[in-house]
């Protein structure tokens, strides 16, 4: 009996040590196969790089599924192992400003400008855009459907005291929402109709759905979640609701262990013509409409 | 209720077609949490025996911290480990952030207090005269530890099950230090969180069912061993051999 227990324990130890040993080698296997695959097909890069690239990005780009298509393509082509961490725009920019990321793909122009001004980011480039929409209960108690502009709609919600769910998480969506309130001189924080979820767009949409409240969402996440929601699109198309994505390279002068070559390669990849076309086509098959609009090289709507 | 049935059907379908790399993710969960549990076991038994048998100053404080550690919030553990492992942190040069190693470290920190606490409690519950008897028969400290481990193998098995459960189900630390990166550090709880965030409740439930099934399978193995031990220990006609003290000691010292 003692032997049976001992054998079980020893077996467990052996399996575990094997597992950890195999675990640490799996990343290197992945890089070798991607290199092999890349050399098999014609590719623009003459020599394959190697090493890790930390891409800090938003939950919306992650949840839309766009990065699940683009990142493996970039990895195969370049040879880098990309560690995509989807943490939300505010967190991504903070992380990059500490030197804990190599490149960021985010959508909060005001925060991005601060990052570049502080010297943490360089070569900020326009990649794509989509738009935000204001969602709410079908019966529209605040009557924002008839609002001429987004400002009017925000004022109507505040005046009526209609329940509004904010992301409250320093994400790109949250930053835009807060700027909209600022634009109409309203301080929603602390008011009893204003609730902050502190979570991602998916969770926030669910809360707004369950509580019959208004909220601002990016179109891509809304389309992905539509089947679970009873909310209606009550306002869209206003220039103020434009959702612009930029890619920023972390400044190697300030953060010496940033992988600037890899970061520049990724930035170049994102604005390349064939990838831009892919971005424009993304979503047409699954959601029936384009989720992102490629913008590289065009005049920057949020410079 | 339909969602739950849909979840069950979805689970079967995901396993049948390996949808969404579910095998890779499940295996990674098992490997990471399994390694963490083994390491925690070694550390926990060592620390637990020290706590139980050595009277040292500050023993009360350490014991309190261990008991608190059993319920330590994984998100806090994850944050602290991340701060240490980030490139900007003190251990940044190791390059361990967003790797399986980092996840194992975080899970070890979560599981070790559990196993330490259980081990210390189990050893403390032993008859103190047993240790004296073993010493009097000429055992070295290491032999003593091995013999005593046999005595407490039932609570120890329970400790391992709880430690493994804590490691495999936690999501806050794994996502924070691992990054929940597809194909690299994504494990089951992180995937469930991701699916929930995307509003895919069917797949989220399915993954939850797969995770729980995995835990049942692992614990079934442990429980089988546990009941096997219990059966041997309580057979009346084998009392002389199965009794905890002298025969076990003699067998080990004379082999």
Same domain, A208 and A224: yes
- Going by C-alpha positions, the residue among A69, A81, A104 that lies closest to residue A278 is A69
Show the domain range for A207.
131-241
What is the reported pLDDT for A7? 59
A27: in domain: no
Q: Which residues contact A139 (CB under 8 A, 6 or more apart)?
A: none
CB contact under 8 A, B31 and A4: no
Same domain, A120 and A265: yes
Query: Tokens 């076309």, residue?
Result: A277
Same domain, A84 and A162: no
Q: Best-predicted range by mean pLDDT among A1-5, A91-95, B54-58, B230-234?
A: A91-95
A151: in domain: yes
CA distance A1 to B5: 42
Higher pLDDT, B233 or A53: A53
Same domain, A122 and A110: yes
What is the reported pLDDT for B198? 80
Same domain, A225 and A250: no
CA distance A146 to A153: 8
Kindly state whether B199 is in contact with chain A, defined as any CB-CB distance less than 8 angstroms: yes
CB contact under 8 A, A100 and B179: no
CB contact under 8 A, B97 and A5: no
A250: in domain: yes
Interface test with A, best of B199, B222, B249 (most A CBs within 10 A): B199
CB contact under 8 A, B98 and A83: yes
Distance from CA of A138 to the nearest CA of B (A): 20
* B154, A6 Cβ separation under 8 angstroms: no
Q: What mean pLDDT comes out for the span B14-22? A: 87
What is the reported pLDDT for B227? 82
Measured between CA atoms, the residue of chain A closest to residue B36 is A16
Same domain, A54 and A176: no
Cβ contacts of B34 on chain A, cutoff 8 Å? 12, 15-16, 19
A9: in domain: no
CA distance B130 to B136: 10
**Cα–Cα distance list, B192 to A104, A134, B2, B25, B29 (Å):** 25, 28, 19, 11, 12
DSSP state letter for A19: H
- By Cβ distance, the residue of B30, B88, B181 closest to A100 is B88
pLDDT exceeds cutoff 70 at B236: no
CA distance B25 to B32: 11
CATH number at residue A275: 3.40.190.10
Kindly state whether A50 is in contact with chain B, defined as any CB-CB distance less than 8 angstroms: no
Same domain, A248 and A126: yes
Measured between CA atoms, the residue of chain A closest to residue B83 is A100
Least confident of A89-103, B40-54, B182-196, B228-242: B228-242
Interface test with B, best of A14, A85, A251 (most B CBs within 10 A): A85
Q: Residues A103, A110, A252, CA angle at the centre, nearest 5°?
A: 30
CB contact under 8 A, A52 and B95: yes
- By Cβ distance, the residue of B32, B179, B242 closest to A83 is B179
What is the reported pLDDT for A260? 94
Same domain, A126 and A247: yes
* A34, A79 Cβ separation under 8 angstroms: yes
Distance from CA of B86 to the nearest CA of A (A): 6
Task: Name residues of chain A where pLDDT drops below 50.
Answer: 21-45
A30: in domain: no
What is the reported pLDDT for B248? 57
Q: Which ranges of chain B does DSSP label H, i.e. alpha helix?
A: 2-17, 22-53, 59-69, 74-85, 100-124, 128-136, 141-151, 153-169, 172-178, 188-197, 201-234, 239-242, 246-254
CB contact under 8 A, A8 and B184: no
CA distance A98 to A108: 18
Kindly state whether B21 is in contact with chain A, defined as any CB-CB distance less than 8 angstroms: no
CA distance A50 to B55: 53
**Which CATH number is B2-254 given?**
1.10.3720.10
CB contact under 8 A, A227 and B101: no
pLDDT exceeds cutoff 90 at B144: no
Higher pLDDT, B233 or A155: A155
> How many other CB atoms are there within 10 angstroms of residue B131's CB atom?
16
**Which tokens is A260 given?**
């600037």
CA distance B115 to B123: 12
ipTM above 0.85, yes or no: no
- By Cβ distance, the residue of A8, A52, A203 closest to B225 is A8
A14: in domain: no
Q: Domain tally for chain A? A: 2
Task: Give residue-wise pLDDT tens across range B194-214.
Answer: 888 887 888 899 999 999 999
Confidence of residue B146 (pLDDT cuts 50, 70, 90): confident
Q: Best-predicted range by mean pLDDT among B87-96, B159-168, B191-200, B228-237?
A: B159-168
Task: Calculate what percentage of chain B has a pLDDT beyond 90.
Answer: 52
What is the reported pLDDT for A28? 38
Same domain, A265 and A286: yes
Same domain, A171 and A270: no
Kindly state whether B34 is in contact with chain A, defined as any CB-CB distance less than 8 angstroms: yes
What is the reported pLDDT for B39? 97
Same domain, A175 and A257: no
* A101, A252 Cβ separation under 8 angstroms: no
Kindly state whether B182 is in contact with chain A, defined as any CB-CB distance less than 8 angstroms: yes
What is the reported pLDDT for B249? 59
Task: Give residue-wise pLDDT tens across range A200-239.
Answer: 898 899 999 999 999 999 988 898 888 889 999 999 999 9
A176: in domain: yes
| Mean pLDDT for chain B overall | 87
What is the reported pLDDT for B151? 86
Higher pLDDT, B228 or B157: B157
Same domain, A54 and A114: yes
């Amino acid at each position: 009996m003692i032997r049976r227990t001992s054998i079980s324990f020893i077996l467990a130890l052996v399996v575990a040590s094997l597992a950890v040993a195999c675990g640490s080698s799996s990343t290197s296997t992945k890089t070798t196969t991607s290199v092999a695959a890349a050399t098999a097909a014609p590719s623009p890069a003459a020599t394959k790089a190697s090493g890790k690239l930390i891409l800090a990005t938003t939950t919306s780009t992650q949840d839309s599924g766009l990065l699940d298509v683009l990142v493996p393509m970039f990895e195969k082509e370049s040879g880098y192992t990309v560690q995509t961490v989807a943490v939300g725009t505010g967190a991504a920019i903070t992380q990059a400003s500490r030197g804990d990321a190599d490149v960021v793909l985010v959508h909060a122009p005001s925060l991005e400008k601060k990052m570049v001004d502080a010297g943490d980011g360089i070569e900020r480039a326009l990649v794509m855009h989509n738009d935000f929409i204001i969602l709410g209960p079908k019966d529209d108690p605040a009557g924002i459907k008839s609002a001429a502009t987004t400002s009017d709609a925000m004022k109507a919600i505040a005046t009526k005291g209609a329940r509004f769910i904010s992301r409250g998480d320093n994400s790109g969506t949250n930053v835009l929402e807060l700027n909209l309130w600022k634009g109409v001189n309203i301080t929603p924080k602390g008011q009893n109709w204003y609730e902050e979820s502190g979570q991602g767009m998916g969770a926030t949409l669910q809360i707004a759905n369950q509580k019959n409240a208004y909220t601002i969402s990016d179109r891509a996440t809304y389309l992905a979640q539509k089947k679970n929601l009873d909310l209606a699109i009550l306002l869209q198309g206003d220039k103020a609701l434009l959702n612009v994505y930029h890619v920023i390279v972390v400044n190697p002068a300030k953060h010496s262990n940033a992988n600037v070559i890899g970061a520049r390669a990724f930035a170049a990849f994102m604005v390349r013509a064939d990838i831009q076309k892919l971005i424009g086509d993304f979503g047409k098959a699954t959601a029936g409409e384009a989720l992102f609009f490629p913008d590289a090289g065009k005049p920057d709507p949020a410079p | 209720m339909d969602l739950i049935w849909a979840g069950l059907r979805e689970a079967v379908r995901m396993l049948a077609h390996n949808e969404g790399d579910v095998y890779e993710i499940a295996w990674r969960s098992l490997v990471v949490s399994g390694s963490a549990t083994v390491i925690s076991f070694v550390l926990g038994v060592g620390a637990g025996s020290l706590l139980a048998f050595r009277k040292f100053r500050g023993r009360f404080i350490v014991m309190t911290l261990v008991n608190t550690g059993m319920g330590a919030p994984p998100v806090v553990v994850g944050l602290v480990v991340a701060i240490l492992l980030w490139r900007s942190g003190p251990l940044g040069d190791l390059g361990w952030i967003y790797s399986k190693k980092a996840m194992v470290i975080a899970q070890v920190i979560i599981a070790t207090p559990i196993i330490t606490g259980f081990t210390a409690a189990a050893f403390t519950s032993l008859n103190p005269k047993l240790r004296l008897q073993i010493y009097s028969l000429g055992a070295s400290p290491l032999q003593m530890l091995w013999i005593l481990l046999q005595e407490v193998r039932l609570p120890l098995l329970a400790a391992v099950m709880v430690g493994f459960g804590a490691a495999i189900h936690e999501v806050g630390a794994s996502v924070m230090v691992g990054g929940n990166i597809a194909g690299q550090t994504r494990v089951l709880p992180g995937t469930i969180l991701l699916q929930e965030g995307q509003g895919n409740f069917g797949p989220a439930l399915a993954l939850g069912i797969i995770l729980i099934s995995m835990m049942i399978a692992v614990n079934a193995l442990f429980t089988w061993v546990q009941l096997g031990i219990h059966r041997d220990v309580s057979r009346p006609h084998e009392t002389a051999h199965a009794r905890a003290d002298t025969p076990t000691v003699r067998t080990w010292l004379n082999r």
